[in-house]
Amino acid sequence: MPSFHLAFPVNDLGKAHIFYHDLLGCPLGRTSDRWIDLNFFGHQITAHLRSNEEEPADTNAVDGEQVPVRHFGAILDWDDWEALSEKLKAAGADFIIQPRVRFRGKAGEQGTFFVRDPSGNALEFKTFRDPTQIFAK
């Protein structure tokens, strides 16, 4: 699968470094005093310093939860998803939506949770019981 690249704003590069590199375990790439590249589960993301970032985007209702419209994330293996969930809980991460399983016993059964980084960016981490059903209807 091809890798993607995503650039996103942060208001503190030091806190971004701690969250993405130290907590999530994303290896560092090139850096400057205005941005850092990270290996986000095989994809390249770049945190760009922007001190006057606007408020987080609105939400949409999805399965009874208010999901941030603006978010990004990764799809992990089930065991890795559970381990990251526990690691973030232990670290006192700012969960928007707590870890849960959707569509239990149905096509596309998935685990999901949303968390905010220190700059307020929303991230979703997902897992699928059967990875071939990522696009199941």
pLDDT digits (tens, 9 = 90+) for 40-52: 999 999 999 886 6
CB 111 within 8 A of CB 101: yes
Q: What average pLDDT does the segment 59-75 reach?
A: 84
Give first-to-last CA distance, the chain, whole Å: 21
Instruction: Tell me the HSE value of 100 on the side-chain side, using a 13 A CA sphere.
Output: 11
| Amino acid identity at 29 | G
Q: What average pLDDT does the segment 124-131 reach?
A: 94
Give the residue extent of every domain in the chain: 5-49, 59-133
Residue 7, SS3?
Answer: strand
**Contacts of residue 120, Cβ cutoff 8 Å, sequence gap at least 6:** 11, 53, 56
Q: In terms of CATH architecture, what is 5-49?
A: Roll (3.10)
> Residue 61 above 80 pLDDT?
no
> Residue 69 above 80 pLDDT?
no
Superfamily of domain 59-133: 2,3-Dihydroxybiphenyl 1,2-Dioxygenase, domain 1 (3.10.180.10)
Candidates 24, 18, 58; CA nearest to 43 is: 24
> Residue 14 above 90 pLDDT?
yes
Distance CA 65, CA 100 (A): 11
Q: What average pLDDT does the segment 47-69 reach?
A: 76
